[in-house]
Copies of this chain bind each other. A is one copy, B any other.
């Protein structure tokens, strides 16, 4: 039986999970595949702290160089985009197959890594970079290989989904939930990467690239985080039959033009994606043959991420053991789209909450202005606020052009009767 030597760079949470999975389930993997994945080295600056995993003697090292030299499969789990990139490039140049969970690195430097892998006749595997334990990369690349991808909707950040779920269930404000989430370890001390949408955007860039055959990077991804979604928005959405989710939206139109965007989104409460709550992730893929599919599971965490990393390790091991290290390239260029649609040109439905003085004529003024920008109203709800002189007008629009809506919003914000900037959330009827 063929043995493959596996080295893990980074003995943090995920690194410890991968080590634990490889050690606990080596027998399972061997029975299923006929290859042995042997944990041979773990490199970290700190090789003395207890990570709760009993590793074999002599495998801990502080030398990444030595790890790369002795291992067949190099697993990068240190995160960041500097050292990690350096280590991966070094491993690839030495002809080692690489596994990584590093979405930021891939989104930003994927092309360079893939080019280096190709030049050295090896591959980079990255199942764990999107949606944790859900095998979405494999499903997109292999399971749906015969499909043109029409749409992908993803809830890809557990922290944001957890915050929305708690706001909704406990009727708490954004900041209160965030603070509590930080206390409980569901949000980072510096939560920006998650709540400002960048983490989701990295993952959206990867999924879009796989769907449309071009490594897009972050540039074409429109990103808006969740800081401005107040409890009032969540309550109003609920009353209108929607839930609020931070959604990655990847779509192509009839002319094969593609849009990639990440922003808070109202989704119909009866849609399967609305039912994905707490820290769970979910991805909906629509292909021209497969139709609608949905995947649901843990998007992060030591164990779920380890499951994905180990599936990559085994894929790599099967390739190496069978003499086909490049069976499926890390990524293959070949555009399956016509052009990218800039954010200003997308069309969507919109939720607008406008806080105005309670005076006659205001509503008419707003409706007229929206209509001047070809924004037509599909429903309207008026709410008295605590203050007697203010009311909230909640408008849902029909499909409208983003640039027109933004112009209309800017104009309305300048009305003297408007008391605070409009809250705008896009609607996706899935």
Contact = CB atoms under 8 A, between A and B. Distances in A.
Interface string A379-401: 00000000000000000000000
B272 A289 contact: no
A196 interface: no
Interface in A265-297: 272, 275, 287-297
A31 B334 CA distance: 5
A324 interface: yes
A303 interface: yes
A296 B315 contact: no
Nearest to A315: B142
Given A17-B289, A21-B289, A332-B32, A147 B324 contact: no
B287 A291 contact: no
Contact of A146 (B138, B287, B306): B306
A319 B334 CA distance: 21
Interface in A181-213: 213
Contacts of A30: 334
Contacts of A28: 145-148, 336
A135 interface: yes
Interface in A146-163: 146-148
A290 B296 contact: no
Contact of A310 (B145, B298, B307, B328): B145
Nearest to A285: B297
A326 B46 CA distance: 41
A292 B148 CA distance: 29
Interface of A: 17, 21-22, 24-25, 28-34, 127, 133-135, 138-139, 141-148, 213, 272, 275, 287-298, 301, 303-304, 306-308, 310-311, 313-315, 318-319, 322-324, 326-329, 332, 334-336
